Amino acid sequence: MQDSFQDRPPKMSEHLPKDHPPVPKQKVGVLLLNLGTPDATDFWSVRRYLKEFLSDPRVIETNKFIWWPILNLIILNFRPQKAGHAYAQIWDKERNESPLRVITRAQTEALAARMSGDGVMVEYAMRYGNPSTKSVLEKMQAAGCQKILLVPLYPQYSATTTATANDKAFDALKEMRWQPAVRTAPAYFEDPKYIEALANSIRDGVAKLDFEPDVVITSYHGMPVEYLKKGDPYHCQCYKTTRLVREYLGWPREKLMVTFQSRFGPTEWLQPYTDKTLEALPGKGIKKVAILAPAFSADCIETLEEISMGGKDTFMEAGGENYAYIPCLNDSPGGMDMIEAMVRRELSGWL
């Protein structure tokens, strides 16, 4: 027997006048958030990106009256050319995009395919650059997403990464007349699915090499020590990720080590530094190394240019014999299994 009107909740459109604009069907949305990328490798494209990135007070906590002239009069006049050259080394010339955007889009498409039966809209946005978080949130809201899960793709939490991604989303929400309900996914540095996927990627990566590494390095993006002292949990979460992976693999402590890369400016950053470690290892008899970057969900300039290329040059010039970079999880089956499991868990009660 067909339900009567009183037996079911009325559709929103049933009470609208005939000339009312169409109301989209309500749906749940998932927004994957990543750091960002310049749109091209030329000076001005890189400058625009760096200006937005380095103007974020969560990234650079220096007093703005001191930082503004340093940034605008010095850094933005010289660094874009150097950074543009680095981006050019790893740029996807076929798509004319950075690997970060190409891979994040692939992750989005893979997750959308996995969740197609649930009617979930999956999109991605960048904290700095395009597609902007604001534009994508507006697109999702207009498409009928009244519930949106924000998923910062940073395994380890830091105010400089996870918080800035959420900040940008909240800034956009403040300007919306009709706000969707929003959840934020937590950092997943100790998630069993993440540890399993990361450990398997290391095991598989090492198995494909034509040499046996003396040590495997987990190189995490660096952070000023001052931020740690102010309460940022990133440092501890990095060490816990590596410890859990080592335990999963059953490796001895000395086989898997932690370092920190990408330091910037004269202040002290988290140590040991990746570049200094690579310089010192051959002198200690460690001449065969594999390295990966667990803080990144997708390969980017910091992994492909700085670690895979620059790190190899540093190590080999210091007397190393074999050096290999193990890619990020990217859109691999194991990586996508982890992202899907996390998303489904955080959507509990919405699907």
Residue 48: CATH number of its domain:
3.40.50.1400
Q: What is the pLDDT of residue 264?
A: 86
What pTM did the predictor assign? 0.91
Q: Is the same domain home to 196 and 100? A: no
**14 located within any domain:** no
Do 240 and 294 lie in one domain? The reply is yes
Q: Are residues 179 and 258 both part of a single domain?
A: no
The answer to whether position 11 is within a domain reads no
Do 228 and 241 lie in one domain? The reply is: yes
Give yes or no: residues 209 and 342 share one domain.
no
The Cα–Cα gap between 126 and 53 comes to 11
Q: 100 in a domain, yes or no?
A: yes
> Is 110 in the same domain as 218?
no
Domain count, the chain: 2
In a domain, 49, yes or no: yes
The pLDDT value recorded for residue 70 is 93
Residue 245 lies in a domain: yes
On whether both 337 and 268 belong to a single domain, the answer is: no
Is 128 in the same domain as 100?
Answer: yes
Same domain for 33 and 133?
yes
Which ranges of the chain have pLDDT less than 70? 1-24
183 in the same domain as 99: yes
Q: What domain range includes position 92?
A: 27-187+333-346
Query: pLDDT, tens digit, for every residue of 149-185?
Result: 999 999 999 999 999 999 999 999 999 999 999 999 9
199 and 132 in one domain? no
Closest CA to 200 of 302, 106, 292, 308: 292
Which residues contribute to the annotated binding site for Fe(2+)?
Answer: 221, 302
Known binding-site residue numbers = 221, 302
Please check whether residue 15 lies inside any domain of the structure: no
> Is 351 a member of any domain?
no
* Residue 294 domain flag: yes
Same domain, 318 and 204: yes
